[in-house]
């Protein structure tokens, strides 16, 4: 199959709002997405990160840049407040080129974010 544009969703939660935790958990999430979808950095078109309003210590995009995504467009935004949603949550929407059907894209939800998509196992 020829490579086509796909979107991958993912999310994770922090144990605390610290720069180290944002970096660690963002890089863990990206690593899992890269591994489960057999991606390399040249496949990535862009990534949109959102965070809940209690994540203020660092930008997830900074963590992505520090792992080599300097040439990838990255954007951060605030997540909509919804009662009962996970705290200290980082979500992402990654656009990339893949040579698999849409049904074979592996979305990744880690830690407390697994409640967002209980149908997807970590």
Query: Alpha-carbon distance 3 to 98, whole Å?
Result: 5
**From first to last of its 122 residues, what are the pLDDT tens digits of the chain?**
899 999 999 999 999 999 999 999 999 999 999 999 999 999 999 999 999 999 999 999 999 999 999 999 999 999 999 999 999 999 999 999 999 999 999 999 999 999 999 898 76
Total-model pTM = 0.96
Neighbours of 103 (CB within 10 A): 5
Helix (H) / strand (E) containing 47: strand 44-51
Q: Among residues 122, 110, 100, 107, which one has the least CA distance to residue 1?
A: 100
Q: Are 116 and 80 in contact (CB under 8 A)?
A: no
For each of the domains in the chain, give its residue range(s) and CATH number, in order of start. Answer: 4-116 (3.30.1330.40)
Task: Report the pLDDT value the prediction gives residue 1, as an integer from 0 to 100.
Answer: 80
């Amino acid at each position: 199959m020829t490579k086509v544009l796909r979107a991958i969703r993912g999310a994770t939660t922090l144990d605390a709002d610290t720069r180290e935790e944002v970096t660690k958990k963002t890089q863990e999430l990206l690593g899992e997405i890269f591994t489960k979808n057999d991606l390399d950095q040249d496949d990535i078109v862009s990534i949109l990160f959102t965070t809940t309003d209690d994540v203020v210590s660092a930008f997830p995009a900074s963590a992505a840049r520090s792992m080599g995504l300097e040439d990838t467009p990255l954007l951060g935004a605030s997540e909509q407040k919804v009662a009962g949603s996970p705290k200290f949550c980082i979500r992402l929407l990654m656009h990339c080129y893949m040579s698999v059907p849409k049904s074979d894209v592996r979305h990744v939800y880690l830690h407390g974010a697994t409640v967002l998509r209980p149908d997807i196992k970590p």
